[in-house]
Structure 1
């Protein structure tokens, strides 16, 4: 068993391996900019070795670090007038805390919403008047509450419900508030309600029809024009995510009906004349402009790969964060050049990703494969399983898979049923037989990898973080003959205990996935829990966990580890002082190094 007590000082750059440079190289997020002061921006960077918030005055080029906390800070919002930076203050990554704010120019932090107790965040929208905030909160005791907080006044409770909900957006003139809610009990498919600041209802939109149809809605944003009652939303009425414009005053819905395969999202251009369309399909993405006057799509040129964030600027240019598996992320602009280029060491690239389609029990499965340049199989192979579960792996740069490739492994990432980007039916297919559905798809790809000659069947590693860590532990027990090694980061290990200890929003998700609580559907929780199969695990197991994690809490991991200990099963555990992962670069490198060392000790050095 290993405990975190810090990391050794970094090696000199010239001696540093490429995999470590990918983690240490300074990175920046897509900058957010103030609606009424567009030269003021906020971004996240790891420049100090910890991910923190930074203010950027574009007119002068001046940048300054806003937050400085031992475990890092990434949740921040810039007020529309550019005067304030709001940031979420939790304790060592436990996600339970309060909003604080700091003047854009710098100065002392202050409590942003006096009168509101600490909670899990459930959305935030800031008004253009400089004194109004709509604050979403989630607690085990109250469920979800949404408050209107104005400077100098006690917070007003706008909304309360036991089921999960969140702040969608605040209209440009501050007169309308959009709320996403799951009062019908399906945490995977939200309905919408638009309220006035006094709590009275303006409009409702619910595609679930009392829970009989699994169609979700999401808020994409109010039109950025005073008095404009148009709300841009996402819907799933044709089996995928698409945008439409809903006039909440008249009830009119304008379906854009874009002829694009895959999922489509959008945001407003700053003058409200059009939409910036983000189209995701088969693990890659591209941008378009939709013009309301002509109703046509115009391609916004971007390289092939993944756009993980994009925003339209007042001058009509588009800034976007782009990467592909072979090239590290950069913030680019259609006006030309790189928007933010942090000084210091540059990240090495990696190898391109290859697409594989495998027939599975629920349809074609998309997998992404990377392998060392020039290597031929059979290779030791890492199945790196993504979290979520409603997420997907894409042709985007990722330092951890690249580290395995550097060490001689092939890496396969599987977009199993439950993943996004392949239609609503694919995402929703994981219900009831939770975990087991995903493992069927992973097994189909495993069989392909072995039969194709790519993977060495005696040296297969199953690994992942969060939901991927859960599937790792579940897979080691359900498919014990398939895997030589398991490496699980921040996993669900004992599903019943995890349910009772996790944050309220995740309890709602688990009730949706499994059809009830552990007391209501005990057989389903038992069938989907790694703890049920722990006695069948034969492969050595490595587990890493944050002791403050509210999503995959430590007690349920301890329960699983105790069972391994009782059996005398080969395992190692690493606990560190953070939440659901770490924002500290040294800590992340330490974890990857421990995983690589664990694999080498048990499987040998690839190629030997």
Structure 2
């Protein structure tokens, strides 16, 4: 579809607040914006995501003139985009109805028709993109047939050149400022959870290698954080796990020198360059909160960047030294702020209502202390409450003290909300994240059960009215949980879940097959007992709780066939269940669709929970 070429700002189509609209719906419908990305050589040209039309799309923003323009307009939304270094072009990934399989297209920043950005490349799953200052593009691709490939697309119209190919997962990391060096993240050693790095020239010749994998039961990962933003500078900022957590270091790929940084902060640490290359903007995540620091490379000095308590979901240092960041807390909706003061980008229309602060809970579990976040409904008595356990996806993710519309909707309806950062979650060290291998799903549920016991014995949760809920990996754990522990849960709500793990493996995108081989220690044919023990389908006949399942028919991550297999088994034994299939992929970017699904979950739970 062609990009929109009008000069309209965000106002047309923005949602209007009405008196009869409940607060929980307002939180979804309120216009919101993401952290603006900006062109490296034209910092007044920015790109951001907004739901102002009711669908999440990309918007161009010329800061010099104040002009904002909707750049994409597709039925199922668009969020994957970037600017060329000169700010002349918007690149965005065009898939089909959310299936994540497609090609890159581009359009002029000022508006105009879209055109193919990588002619000669067939559709694929994306595996990174880097744009050079001379118009060269480096495109990462993943397909079931070819595995991972990386291509160089020159502006002269010549055929794309393949400079990397491997069956295991790999992707584009970053391109050096002068466009001569490319950093690649790869998993040629066979562990999809821990990447190694290779730096090559654009003809594919290797310049440097960095691999922290040790083999056996201990693997350490590396990640590309970016080349220094200075011409001729061969320093690469790298994330590593050598001390049991994520933290940054500087690797000079020309000399091989590695500079460890004096960033002594608990929890995981990431970083990006300030635009002049003299300092790093450090993002620190610890115990479900995050904060920002400035690290001066010459002085080796760490200085706090002032942000409120809560979570910073993204940040960028601007050429003038100020920092823009997106912040929220569980009680206060997200906003894009600047250290210069004030709001950077204010969406039109009404602000969403706030919600309830989180309480930190620490529970002793079989693998160590478990961190959970609990919220109590206001105005519904002292409890015990009907309680929903909202299980996060990933699994390499974590719940944080940030604003989310779905938990707030359950609180409005009198439910307590509990979110568990089970083993496998990020932010608590490498051992915690890596703990779920081989006994996949079962380990996470041990932690969920420990927190469930706390919720009941503390008087927060009514044991007869407990809901297990989640999306993606959280949906998988929901189905596995109501099957392996059928007496613990009164209702199950699973969105885009893994339901039949063997079929899911054979139907899912290649990158996820590699991840599953790492988690299970092999394929379903090589370790069938592990897949059987971890598949919700194995336990479907034990399910007692009424279950609601939502599935995207174009989902490449949790494909529809394996969900149908599970549902057919439920139906064959007359189990209480409902299934909602929608025309999208792994979730929806359409606001009304999200509201519809939350409403269905609420109605299903209220219908089936004891009074």
- Using structure 2 for the length normalisation, give the TM-score: 0.97
SS of equivalent to 1:328: coil
Structure 1 residue 160 corresponds to structure 2 residue 165: yes
1:28 alignment counterpart? 33
What residue number does 1:146 align with? Answer: 150
Unaligned ranges ≥5, structure 1 = 1-9
- Counterpart contact for 1:380–1:459, Cα < 8 Å: yes
Aligned equivalent of 1:5? none
The separation in 1 between residues aligned to 2:528 and 2:585, in whole angstroms, is: 28
Given that residues 75 and 87 in structure 1 are in contact (C-alpha distance below 8 angstroms), is that contact kept between their aligned partners in structure 2? yes
Tell me if structure 2 keeps the 8 A contact 1:184–1:211.
no
2:396 pairs with 1:386: no
Match of 2:6 in 1: none
SS in 2 for 1:279: strand
Aligned residue number for residue 93 of structure 2? 88
8 Å Cα contact 1:207/1:213 also seen in 2: no
For residue 384 of structure 1, give the secondary structure of its aligned residue in structure 2. Answer: strand
| Superposition pairs of residues 377-456 of structure 1, within 5 angstroms | 377-456=383-462
Cα displacement string for residues 290-347 of structure 1 (whole angstroms, at most 9, x for unaligned residues): 0012101010000000000000000000000000000000000000100000111211
What does residue 556 of structure 1 align with? 562
SS class of match (2:281): strand
What does 1:186-585 align with in structure 2 at a 5 Å threshold?
186-210=191-215, 213-373=218-378, 375-585=381-591
Distance in 2, Cα, partners of 1:125 & 1:211: 33
Q: Is the partner of 2:425 in helix, strand or coil?
A: coil
- Superposition deviation, residue 213 in structure 1: 3.2
In the TM superposition, structure 1's runs of 4+ consecutive aligned residues that sit over 4 Å from their partners are none
Q: Paired residue for 2:182, among 177, 181, 188?
A: 177
Structure 2 CA distance for partners of 1:351 and 1:209, relative to 1, 3 Å: same
Conservation of the 8 A alpha-carbon contact between 1:50 and 1:585: yes
Q: Quick one: which of 132, 139, 142 aligns to 2:136?
A: 132
Per-residue displacement from partner, 1:262-312 (whole Å, max 9, x unpaired)?
A: 000000000000000000000000000000121010100000000000000
Provide the secondary structure at the position in 2 that maps to 1:437.
helix
2: CA distance between counterparts of 1:211 and 1:55? 48
Given that residues 17 and 350 in structure 2 are in contact (C-alpha distance below 8 angstroms), is that contact kept between their aligned partners in structure 1?
no
- TM-score between the two structures when normalised by the length of structure 1: 0.97
State the shift of 1:246 in Å: 0.1
Q: 1: distance between equivalents of 2:434 and 2:571?
A: 36
Shift, 1:12, TM fit: 6.3
The answer as to 2:25 corresponding to 1:58 is no
Matched residue of 2:333: which SS? strand
Give the whole-Å Cα distance in 2 for the aligned partners of 1:96 and 1:292. Answer: 41
Provide the rounded CA distance (Å) in 2 between the counterparts of 1:314 and 1:174: 21
Within 2, Cα distance between the matches of 1:410 and 1:482?
16
Check conservation: 2:249, 2:258, Cα contact below 8 A: yes
Give the distance between the partners of 2:444 and 2:165, measured in 1 at CA: 35
Q: Distance in 2 between matches of 1:430 and 1:99?
A: 35
Answer whether contact 1:240 1:263 (CA < 8 A) is retained.
yes
Q: C-alpha separation between the residues in 2 aligned to 1:210 and 1:414?
A: 30
Q: Structure 1 566/11 Cα, relative in aligned 2: closer, same or farther at 3 Å? A: farther
- Structure 1 CA distance for aligned equivalents of residues 298 and 540 of structure 2: 60
Tell me the equivalent position of 1:4.
none
1:50 touches 1:584 (CA, 8 Å); kept in 2? yes
How far apart are residue 209 of structure 1 and its match? Answer: 3.3
Aligned counterparts of 1:569 and 1:382: Cα–Cα separation in 2:
21
Q: Is the 8 A contact 2:16 2:349 kept in 1?
A: no
Secondary structure of the structure 2 residue equivalent to 1:106: coil
Which residue does 2:51 correspond to in 1?
46
Cα distance between partner residues in 1 of 2:296 and 2:549:
50
Please give the secondary structure, in 1, of the residue aligned with 2:436.
coil
Aligned partner of 2:74 in structure 1 is 69
Give 1:258 deviation, angstroms. Answer: 1.2
Q: Deviations over 1:82-138 (max 9, x none)?
A: 000000000000000000000000000000000000000000010112x10110000
Distance 1:233 1:173 in 2: 19
Report which stretch shifted further, 474-483 or 145-154. Answer: 145-154
Q: Which whole-Å CA distance do the structure 1 matches of 2:378 and 2:321 have between them?
A: 41
Task: Give the drift of 1:211.
Answer: 5.8
Q: 1:257: how far off?
A: 3.3
Matched position secondary structure for 1:67: coil
> Structure 2: any 5+ residue segments left out of the alignment?
1-14
Classify the secondary structure of the residue corresponding to 1:482.
coil
The equivalent position to 2:602 in structure 1, one of 583, 587, 596, is 596
SS at 1:545 equivalent: strand
1:351-401 CA distance string (max 9 Å, x none):
100000000000000000011125412100000000000000000000000
Deviation of the 1:53 alpha carbon: 0.2
Which is worse superposed, 11-20 or 349-358? 11-20
Residues in 1 aligned to 2:71 and 2:109: alpha-carbon distance in whole angstroms: 8
Whether contact under 8 Å (2:16, 2:350) holds in the other structure is no
Shift of 1:14: 1.2
- Give the structure 2 partner of residue 19 of structure 1: 24
- For the aligned residues, what is the CA RMSD? 1.1
Q: Take 2:403 and 2:16, find their aligned partners in 1: how far apart are those partners?
A: 24
CA contact (8 A) 1:487 1:541 kept: yes
Distance 1:366 1:554 in 2: 33
